[in-house]
Structure 1
Amino acid sequence: MLNGPPAVRILIADDHDVVRSGLRSILELRAGWEVVGEAGDGRTALTMALALKPDIVITDYSLPMMNGVEVTRQVRSRLDRTEVLMFTMHDTDEIITQALAAGAKAFLLKSDAKQYLVSAIEALANRKPFFTGRLSERMLDCYLAKRTDKAAPLLTPRERIVVQLIAEGNSNKEISALLNVSIKTVESQRSAAMRKIDVNSTASLVRYAIRNKLIEP
């Protein structure tokens, strides 16, 4: 007897129970697709991904503890066979660019999930990228705009995750443990971020994080 194709093993990372439940209900209708785990924050998502080695990670951008871009970067650098779908409410040029630079091969808005989720997972399972037509146009526009804009990004990816963690109320010591870097490195990145965005207090940093969708208000 011939064996069928191997199961597609999927990990879901989103901080809303109802979103994870909705995704699971859609995915598990497909024969051969298996949701092997769910995570409610970025740190847990990365830990589970490294332990379970799923074929696909679906991650929200706005995760607590470690945002979806950092999860994507860590997964893609440490798990060669795991693809990532960035799944988010936001489709700003900056978020799209960050997701692609981190290694996400698919990008899907939550509002488009019902229509495109299955197609996105099928594409990733076959090692192909997936973007809706509207997002493809946005990506092209963003690329063309950056060709004429030589200004460097305001914050580095690591500075952005440090700002997010500060805005979520973590101390330098807690951030050091989460990111596995020294406290001195955290302090340096915190100072650099505050200097770049021209703020001088934690409250101003939090307002910046909310305004730029690093955290949910």
Structure 2
Amino acid sequence: MGNVRLLIADDHAVVRQGIRQILSDAPEMQIVAEASTGLEALELVRNERVDVVILDLSMPGLSGMETVKRIRQDCPNVPILVLSMHSEEQYAVRAIRSGAAGYLTKDSAPEELVAAVRSVARGHKYVTETLAERLAFEIERGSDRLAHETLSDREYQVMLLMAEGLRGQDIAERLALSSKTVSTYRARLLRKMNIGSSAELTRYALRHRLIDT
């Protein structure tokens, strides 16, 4: 394998530095750009020669899932490795469905990150054994989806924050949205899921392991 040109997209500089340090032990890997928002990442992928994008899902502005979709739309040959603080149960299947080539959590071992980058750079998918089983289950189940799987990516993001106990204003600030927009998402997702209250939503999320206890 020749040099692998990398873009790191994460809104925390200390995380980007940590990724740099881990990948510095892999001589073929060259970090050519960094981004702190989804829009920055999208612009850099369009204008720089990038072989792999390492992408966080929780960045301000353009959501991580939307960033994945737009990079895949504009630069379909550039694989995206999602490196997220969120557990596989929360976001991994959605990320792969959106076009990501792999998914790792930030508590993964450093050598696993190196292996994942090498794998997606070669054109392969990189998923853990647990995620592979989950994807197989999703395929087998077909169109019989759970309530939270009917939500759009942004509705799903708001739903998780609601289930964790955040109030509307807190969610608006976290996602850089207006309070009115968050209220619209809240009403829409509760209707889609046929859930009547935030407390009931939290119980649902705990039951399906979408949030930690």
TM over 0.5: yes
Q: Does 1:63 align with 2:59?
A: yes
Q: Does 1:170 align with 2:177?
A: yes
Provide the C-alpha distance between the structure 2 equivalents of 1:123 and 1:193, rounded to a whole number of angstroms: 36
Q: Does 1:98 align with 2:105?
A: no
CA offsets per residue over residues 3-27 of structure 1, 9 Å max, x none? Answer: xx54211101112221110111122
Structure-2 change in CA distance of 1:140 and 1:157 (3 Å): same
Provide the C-alpha distance between the structure 2 equivalents of 1:72 and 1:148, rounded to a whole number of angstroms: 23
Q: Does 1:10 align with 2:6?
A: yes
Q: Does 1:49 align with 2:56?
A: no
1:53–1:82 CA contact under 8 A, matched in 2: no
1:53–1:79 CA contact under 8 A, matched in 2: no
What pairs with 1:1-217 in structure 2 (closer than 5 Å)?
A: 6-144=2-140, 146-147=141-142, 149-151=144-146, 153-157=149-153, 159-160=155-156, 166-168=172-174, 169-171=176-178, 192-193=188-189, 195-196=191-192
Report the RMSD for the aligned CA atoms in angstroms: 3.6
Residue 10 of structure 1 aligns with an amino acid whose one-letter code is: L
TM-score of the pair, normalised by structure 2: 0.71
Structure-2 change in CA distance of 1:58 and 1:7 (3 Å): same
- Matched residue pairs, number? 192
Q: CA deviation at 1:138?
A: 3.7
Structure 1, unpaired ranges of 5+: 176-185, 213-217
Provide the C-alpha distance between the structure 1 equivalents of 2:16 and 2:40, rounded to a whole number of angstroms: 14
Provide the C-alpha distance between the structure 2 equivalents of 1:166 and 1:197, rounded to a whole number of angstroms: 21
